[in-house]
Structure 1
Amino acid sequence: MDQDSRQVSRLWRVYRTIHQMVDDRGYLVSYSELNMDLDAFRAQYARGGAVDRNSLTFLVQKRDDPADQVLVFFPEEPSLGVKTIRKYCERMLTQNVQKSIIIYPESLTPSAKKAVEHVGDKYHLELFKEADLLVNITHHNLVPRHDILSPEEKRTLLQRYRLKESQLPRILINDPVARYYGLKRGQVVKITRASETAGRYITYRLCM
C-alpha cells in the first residue's frame, strides 16, 4: 500500500469516528455519512489519489435545537498554526456558529494554543489529534455506556439521594470518554456497566 492509500484509509477512519461522535452527542448525521465505506470515501474525497482535507469540512445541527450547530474542520498543515485558527473563527462568525471541532494531523503550535484560549469566551473550539480518532473508544467492550443527564435529571438525582454535587464521584473533563461526549464542567454522566450478579450496575459521575 502506497503512502496516499494509507493516508486515505487513515482519514476515512477518522471521518467515520467524528461522525459517530457528533451523532452520539445528539446532532443530525445522515445514514450515508455514518455508514460510508472506504471505497465511497475514496470516490468522494480522494479522486486524485490524495484527500482534499478542506472538502471534509462539515456542519451539523442538534436534533432538538437547530440553533445549536457545530462546524468540523480538517486543517491541512501538520502543525496547526494561529493563522488557521483565525481563519476558522472568521468562518464561524460568517456562518453564525459558536462551536467547532478541529481535527489536526500531528501537532499544535504554542501560538495556536494561546489563540484558542483567547477566543474561548466567544467560541467553543475543541481540538482532537487525528491519532485519537482512528478508533471509536466507546465501541470498545471494556467501555461502559455513558448517558449525560439533563439539568432536570441531575436535580432529581441529587434530591432523590439527598446528595450535594460535591459528593458525587468525578470524571475529569480531559478523560477520553468525557472528551468524546463533549462533557462540560458540572454535568453528570450516568454510567451503566454489566454485572454478573445484578444484570447491570449504574454509577454517576460529575465532570470536573
Structure 2
Amino acid sequence: MVHDRGYLVSKSELEMELETFKRTFAPSGDVDRDQLTFVVQSRNDPTDQLLVFFPKDRSVGVKPLRVFVERMAQQQIPKGICVYQQSLTPSANKVMQSLPSKHTLESFNENELLVNITHHVLVPKHEVLTADEKATLLKRYRLKDSQLPRIQHSDPVARYYGLKRGQVVKILRESETAGRYVSYRLCI
C-alpha cells in the first residue's frame, strides 16, 4: 500500500516470501509486531515521511496511540498509519480525529489489508493527481472543483491511496467501444 502511495520500498521487501517473513518477524511462531514498525519516505519529496505502526494490543486504546503520536512528533514525521488487529476503542478514534493539523494518522484493520483491493478485476486503475495536474485539468475543461464527480473520503480505494479532501483521482476503465474511458473524481 505505501508503495502504491508513492513511497520508497525496497524490492526485496515487496517480493519477500512467506518463509522469509516468518524467519525474520516470527522466529518463535508469534509475529513480533514491534519489529514490523517502519518509516518510509516519498519518492518525490524526502521530507514527506510516513511511519507505519503495528500495536500489540488486540483492541487499541488511547495509550498506544499517544505513544505513537509522540514518536511521530519526536522524529518529525507528519504522517502515520496504525494497523490494528481487532478494533480501536471509541476514545482512540477521538484521539485520532483531534490530532494537530501538522499530523495525519490513519487506521486500518489488518484484515482490510490482507487482499490488495486495487488488484481486483472489478476495480479500475486509479491515479492520484498532483496539485499541478489538478489545476491543469480544471483549466483545460474550464471547471470548478464542485463540478467534478465525487468520491467519498471513506471509499475503500480512497482510503487505500490516502486521499485527502480536495484531491482528485484519475480513473482509467476499459471500454468495449472506446478502448479506454477516463474519468476524474474529487475526494469529499
TM-score range with shorter-chain normalisation?
A: over 0.9
Residue equivalent to 1:41: 21
| Correspondence list, 1:162-181, <5 A | 162-181=142-161
Q: How does 1:131-146 map to 2 (within 5 A)?
A: 131-146=111-126
Letter in 1 for 2:99: V
RMSD over equivalenced CA pairs, Å = 0.9
TM-score scaled to structure 2, two decimals? 0.97
1:31 to 6, 11, 16: 11
Q: Which amino acid aligns with 1:123?
A: H
Identity of aligned residues (%): 62
- The answer for the alignment partner of 1:84 in structure 2 is 64
Corresponding residue for residue 136 of structure 2: 156
Deviation at residue 120 of structure 1 after TM alignment = 4.0
CA offset at residue 93 of structure 1? 1.6
The change in CA–CA distance for 1:165 and 1:58 in structure 2 (over 3 A counts) is: same
Number of residue pairs matched? 188
**Where do 5+ consecutive residues of structure 2 fail to align?**
none
Distance 2:138 2:97 in 1: 33
Take 1:45 and 1:140, find their aligned partners in 2: how far apart are those partners? Answer: 28
Give the CA deviation at 1:143. 0.5
Looking at structure 1, the residues matched to 109 and 173 of structure 2 have their Cα atoms a distance apart, in angstroms, of 28
Give the counterpart letter for 2:86 in structure 1. E
The runs of at least 4 aligned residues of structure 1 exceeding 2 Å deviation read none
Q: Deviations over 1:47-101 (max 9, x none)?
A: 0111111110000000111110000000011110100011001111221111100
Q: How far off its partner does 1:155 sit?
A: 1.4
| Cross-structure match for 2:52 | 72
**Counterpart position of 2:83:** 103
Q: Does 1:118 align with 2:98?
A: yes
Unaligned residue ranges in structure 1 (runs of 5+): 1-20
Question: Which is richer in helix?
Answer: 1
Instruction: Measure, in 1, the Cα distance between the counterparts of 2:47 and 2:137.
Output: 29
For the residues of structure 2 that align with 1:34 and 1:151, how far apart are their CA atoms?
28
Amino acid at match of 1:183: L
Cα distance between partner residues in 1 of 2:185 and 2:102 = 28
TM-score (norm 1): 0.88
> For each residue in 1:83-135, what CA deviation from the matched residue of structure 2 results, as whole angstroms up to 9, or x when unmatched?
00110011112211111000000011111111112214231000001111110
CA distance in 1, matches of 2:182, 2:21: 39
